[in-house]
Every structure is written in structure tokens, then in C-alpha cells.
Structure 1
Amino acid sequence: MNPEKGPQQGRAIRRARTVTLLAVFVAVIVSLAFDSGLGTPSSFGIGEFFLLCPLGGLEALLASKALIPVTLISLAVVAVGALLLGRSWCAWGCPAPVIRRFFKREPKFEGLGSGEGPNACAAGHPTDALATEDEGAGNGGKPQGCAAKTAVRSLWRDRLAHAGRDPRTWTLVAVLVAALIAGFPLFCLVCPIGLTFGTVGSLWHLIVDKQMTFSVLVFPAALLVELVLYRKWCMNLCPIAGLLNLFGQFAQFGRPRINEATCLRADGTPCTACTAVCSERIDMHDADGAIQLGDCTRCGECAKACPTGSITFALKAQGEDRPAVAPTAEEPVAG
């Protein structure tokens, strides 16, 4: 195996992500400049066909308590995309990570591998509420940690437990309940995606049309509070990530894979390079690593950071019953 293959692929993915994000911003500016009506990722389309943000659409549906066809169509399109590529939007289309990197406010985590973060499921942290005495049989009736629980539980139960541990799932539930009670899509007022493109639009009108509005000050201020002052917004609170995670568990295309034969951990070296750079702190070596990969954003940073080039991204779907890591040195790593 070429030790540079993984890092090269990671760097290529980062360049492609940058180009994609720039294309989105250029499209928005072109839409403003020529009044083409393309819109923004919160609501975009061509002619009579347009799509809504899936969360905003759900909020509108619950707030109006009426069936809105465009909302159902938008949800179907997003669901199909998420079932194929999981949470790729978070790395390839969402402006929030770019804003954090610009202000050098990436979230910091201590004690990697010791059970911190929403995906924590390490030995010594048997906090899963679904653990039972039967699962702890053979250990004095006590839970034996994540490895034993993962071996016993069904795949569906694993996924439900993972979603239940993720605080973004509960943020999503709270947002939808609030929209139903208030009769208004409240989260849309503070959504970082909407605020980002709202700021772009406000600045455009200020520079080109000489129109000064409060949004020029309010939108950037809200963004700073959400993404700069609170570093872990995306990891702990974002309900859009919570929604996409529900589909991401089934998305097999483009998942990272590890060649165990060349990975430093195969020799017992306590390497955490891939987990340290992962925005989701996914540990593919963990007992529930395959479940954690449901949160993968396909950002490519793990492949770029791997010191032995052992991580590559599969360009084809992996079966549900197939492990997230390559079991032998002879098995070719999908690239």
C-alpha cells in the first residue's frame, strides 16, 4: 500500500470541499447581483422548482399544522441524499465550520479515548441506559462496557442508543416541539446557515444599494455568539446535524476505512491522530466504531492526518454486516 495514498486523498477532499463552498457563495452572490432567484441553501431553486431546508420545512409544516407539498418534496430529496452520503452537507456545504476555522475557534477536547464527546463509548464508561443485568452476566451482574454491549445488542438497538446519547437529537426534538407550540419556525431565526447567507445579502444591499438595516449588525453578532463564543455548537446543539444523523447511520458510500496491517494501533501504539482531527471525534477502533461512522461528514481530515496513510475513503457502499476496518493485510483497501 502506498503510504501517501490516504493523505493525498485527504488533501484532495479538502480542496474539493473548498471549491464546493466557494461555488455556493458565488452562486448566492450571482443570484443577488442578477436577481436570478436562485436563493440560498435555506431555500433555493430554478424556475418553478425549489427546495427548502429540511429542518425549516419540518418546522413550517408543524407550525402551520397543514400539509405543504414542497416541504414533503424537499424532505424526500434530502432524505435520499443523506441515505447515500450521510452528513456530507456538514463538511461540504455548511458555512459554520469555515467560520470557526477563520476565527481559530475549533472545539478543543481533552482526554481523547477516555469517553469524552457525544460519541463516547469507551471501556470504563458504561453509561448506556439500555444496558441490562443480562448483558453484564459473567461479570458479577455488572455491565462489561461498550465492547460487551455492542456484541449483544442488535444493530437497531445500537443505533437507537447512539441517537439517544447524542444531544443534537434532543435539540432537534425541542426545536420541532417549539415550532408546534409557537406556531412559528423559531429555529430559523437563529440558524447559522440562514444567518450566514442573510449576512451576505445584507452586506450586498449595503454596498450596492446603500441600504442600511439592523440585519447588518444583528446577523453577524448572532453568528459570533453561536459559532465563535460557543465552539461546540455543531457537535452539541445543531439540530440539522441531529436530523441528518438519523439518516447517516444507513449511509455507506464514502465512509473511511482503516488498513489494520499498517495502522500504528496494530502494534499497540496509542495513536489518536484520526480521532483528534475528526470534528465528530469518531474513534473507528472503538467497539461501536461502525455506529459512530453514522456521524461521519466525509471531510477527509482523518485520512490527511494519518501518519502511516492507513485511512482511505471508500467510493462504493459497504455492506451493513461488513466491519468499518479492513480485517487483514491481504484485503485491498477501497479507495
Structure 2
Amino acid sequence: MGSESNRGAQGRGRVQGKRMVFARRFTLAAVLVAVLASLAFDCGIGTPSSFGIGQFNLLCPLGGLEAMLASKAFIPVAAISAGVLLLFALVFGRAWCAWGCPAPVIRRFFKRDPKPAKPGTCASSCAACSGAKAALDVKASLAFLARDKRTWTLAAVLVCAIVAGLPLFCLVCPIGLTFGTVGSLWHLIVDKQMTASVLVFPAALAVELVLYRKWCMNLCPVAGLLGIFGQFAAKFRPRINADTCLRTSKGSACDVCAVACAEHIDLHAADVQQQLGMCTRCGECAKRCPTASITFE
């Protein structure tokens, strides 16, 4: 009965991973289609950087925070957007980075994913391996965030907004540049309007995402902001069946999950709970695990 139960769990893990990957790709495509529809039919819904339907409007939360700090004034729509982000990130962590952000798609298209780090020492008693829920270790989480370069980039971006009196990062944000490029190309092709943005936006994207392949892992302040709340997002995290995992059950040097993960999270590491604060819920680890030992809660 035990082996049958393990096989059943394995099947669920792989199916779940495949479904998550398909749903993620569908969502990314739907975002692009919505942006194109907004341009084609002049719907006015905008882009994820500035989105609205009727009287409901949201800004990029980081852009909103920058705007409030730069103007030293309370901006209701920016505060509401930050509140929506807080609720979303406390449940789904950094899911936006895999399910809505175009930057990883561009990076993968040009085959510029960062090389994986060597897997750490296996800690088979960790919560990810046993399926147990670990209590939040605030001290360890703060130490992990302090080591993350994106946390410091976020701090620098907010300080620069205060000093300059402008939301400077919005000028170079890959998310805004991507949708700006889409809009510029649309106006070039449909309206025959040639602007400098047709060249400037793609060039900036090439520098950030193609030439520097570790943008998402080292410098992205949006990831840094989401990662702070991600430390508290305990739901929808990957779990390992230690009875079937090659590393825990047979001692094999398997690192497929770490290689498949965009963040190269090592589910066997001693600090896995802090690493999972950066999990984007992409589902690739569950999909690619050779023994289908990974499931999402």
C-alpha cells in the first residue's frame, strides 16, 4: 500500500507541475493579448504597469511607492496598489515574476538564463523534504534578505526617488520598457509613427536582460520588494517526498530541481525555507523532477 501511495503522489506531482507550467504560459500570453487589444481597440485598460477597468485603477506598486516618496505626498491609487500587492504577495509570494513579468520570457528567448549554482549540502530533515510546515524564523529571513542584492537595489531605488524627486527606476524598468516597446512597434506598424522609443526601448532591454543575464536574480527591485513579503508566504510552496526523491532515498547527486528553478532554489538546503521566500511558483521543479517527487501544497 505504501508503494502505491508513493506512486500516486508521484503522478500528482508531475501532472500538477505540467498544469502549472501550461497555466503560467497561458497567463503570460493573455497579458500580451490584453495589451494588444487595448492598443487595437483603444480600450484604455493600459498595461500591468498602469492598469485600469472603468473606475478601478492600479499602478505598479513599486512605481507608486517611488511616486509618493518623490512627491512627498500621499497618492491614494498608489497606496491602494501597494495594499493589493501586500495581499497578493502574502499568499502567492513572487508569483508575479513567473506568471506576469515579461522579463524572464525575453531572457529565455535569448538563452540568457543564469547558470545554476552548485547544490548545497542535503538536509533531509528540512520541511521541504519531509512535507512538514516550518515555523517562520524572522531572524533567519532578515539575514537572508540582507544578503540578497535585490533588497539593497530596492533600498537604493527608493532613496534615489527621494533625493531626485522622480521615480527614476520607472525610466529603466524592464516591465515598462517591454510594454513600451510593444506600444511603439504597434504605432510604427499601424499608425506609421516613428519615434525614438522604437530604438531606445529595445536597446535598454538588451542591456538589462540580454547582456546582463543575472538582472532578475541580482538587481531587480520588483523581485526584491516581492521577496520581502515572500518570506511570509507559506502557501503554494514546493514539497519533496523524501521516500522517492533520488537525493534523500538513494543518495544520488541529483540537482534537477535546482537547475530547473529560475531562482536555483535548492530544496535540500538547510536554509530552504528562506530560499523559498523567492519561489515564483512556476512549477518547473515539479514538472521536471525525474521521480515526480515534488508537489505544491
TM-score scaled by structure 2?
Answer: 0.90
Is 79-88 or 3-12 further displaced after alignment? 3-12
**Residues 195-206 of structure 1: pairs in structure 2 closer than 5 A:** 195-206=177-188
2:77 matches 1:77: no
Pick one of 47, 67, 70 that aligns with 1:40: 47
Corresponding residue of 1:244: 226
Corresponding residue of 2:235: 253
Over 3 Å counting, the alpha-carbon distance change for 1:100 and 1:80 in structure 2 is same
Shift of 1:261: 0.7
CA distance in 2, matches of 1:239, 1:110: 22
Pick one of 138, 159, 181 that aligns with 1:156: 138
Pick one of 153, 164, 167 that aligns with 1:185: 167
Consecutive unaligned residues of structure 2, counting only runs of 5 or more, are: 1-5, 124-134
Shift of 1:288: 1.2
Corresponding residue of 2:280: 297
Corresponding residue of 2:154: 172
Q: Given residue 264 of structure 2, which amino acid in structure 1 is its aligned partner?
A: R
Task: Report Cα offsets for 1:124-152 as digits up to 9, x if no partner.
Answer: xxxxxxxxxxxxxxxxxxxxxxxxxxxxx
2:23 matches 1:16: yes
Asked if 2 retains the 8 angstrom alpha-carbon contact of 1:235 and 1:280, the reply is yes
Structure 1 or 2: larger helix share?
A: 2
Asked if 2 retains the 8 angstrom alpha-carbon contact of 1:85 and 1:251, the reply is yes
Task: Report Cα offsets for 1:257-297 as digits up to 9, x if no partner.
Answer: 10001111122212111111111111121111112111100
SS in 2 for 1:294: helix
Shift of 1:14: 1.1
CA distance in 2, matches of 1:32, 1:100: 25
Asked if 2 retains the 8 angstrom alpha-carbon contact of 1:112 and 1:276, the reply is no
RMSD between superposed Cα atoms in Å: 1.6
Shift of 1:242: 0.2
Which is greater in Rg? Answer: 1
**Residues 1-335 of structure 1: pairs in structure 2 closer than 5 A:** 1-2=6-7, 3-113=10-120, 155-266=137-248, 267-314=250-297
Shift of 1:113: 2.6
SS in 1 for 2:257: helix
Q: Given residue 13 of structure 1, which amino acid in structure 2 is its aligned partner?
A: M
Shift of 1:91: 0.3
Corresponding residue of 1:143: none
Task: Report Cα offsets for 1:30-56 as digits up to 9, x if no partner.
Answer: 111111110000000111220000100
CA distance in 2, matches of 1:288, 1:63: 37
Higher RCO by CA contacts (8 Å cutoff, separation 6 or greater): 2
SS in 1 for 2:239: strand
Q: Given residue 254 of structure 2, which amino acid in structure 1 is its aligned partner?
A: C
TM-score scaled by structure 1?
Answer: 0.80
Shift of 1:110: 4.6
Is 12-21 or 192-201 further displaced after alignment? 12-21
CA distance in 1, matches of 2:14, 2:209: 28
CA distance in 1, matches of 2:261, 2:148: 16
SS in 2 for 1:4: helix
Task: Report Cα offsets for 1:278-317 as digits up to 9, x if no partner.
Answer: 1111112111111211110000111112111100111xxx
Over 3 Å counting, the alpha-carbon distance change for 1:254 and 1:82 in structure 2 is same
